[in-house]
């Protein structure tokens, strides 16, 4: 399960960065929402999967409440999921 979470974490982080730093600027600077539409749904699914897998892994990985909160908050911070992978999943 941990390896699946690592993959989802990586994909969620990449999709968030693409959405935040590429799709959103294109939407507002070039008035073209296509990239946001294209990346929004996969990112949302990956985000929900990240949260569900974190909940499932909490007991297996023996995360206390503080670490679990950090892992969840990291999903909404750019580059946060990469930090989680390095600190908690390796």
Structure confidence by residue, pLDDT tens digits, 5-23: 999 999 999 999 999 999 9
pLDDT band with cut points at 50, 70 and 90 for residue 72 = very high
pLDDT band with cut points at 50, 70 and 90 for residue 90 = confident
Q: Which of 36, 57, 48 is nearest to 76 (CA)?
A: 48
Contact call for residues 85 and 9 (beta carbons, < 8 A): yes
Provide the number of structural domains found in the chain. Answer: 1
Residue 1 has pLDDT above 90, yes or no: no
Contacts 24+ apart (CB under 8 A), 36-45: 39/15, 42/15, 43/12, 43/15, 43/16, 43/18, 43/19
Predicted TM-score (pTM) of the model is 0.89
Contact call for residues 78 and 12 (beta carbons, < 8 A): no
Q: Which residue has the tokens 């909160």?
A: 69
Residue 2 has pLDDT above 90, yes or no: no
| Domain containing residue 63 | 2-89
Percent of the chain with pLDDT over 70: 100
């Amino acid at each position: 399960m941990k390896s699946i979470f690592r993959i989802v974490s990586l994909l969620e982080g990449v999709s968030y960065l693409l959405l935040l730093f590429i799709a959103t600027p294109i939407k507002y600077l070039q008035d073209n929402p296509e990239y946001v539409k294209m990346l929004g749904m996969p990112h949302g699914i990956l985000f929900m999967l990240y949260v569900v897998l974190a909940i499932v892994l909490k007991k297996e990985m023996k995360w206390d409440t503080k670490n679990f909160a950090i892992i969840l908050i990291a999903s909404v911070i750019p580059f946060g999921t990469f930090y989680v992978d390095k600190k908690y999943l390796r």
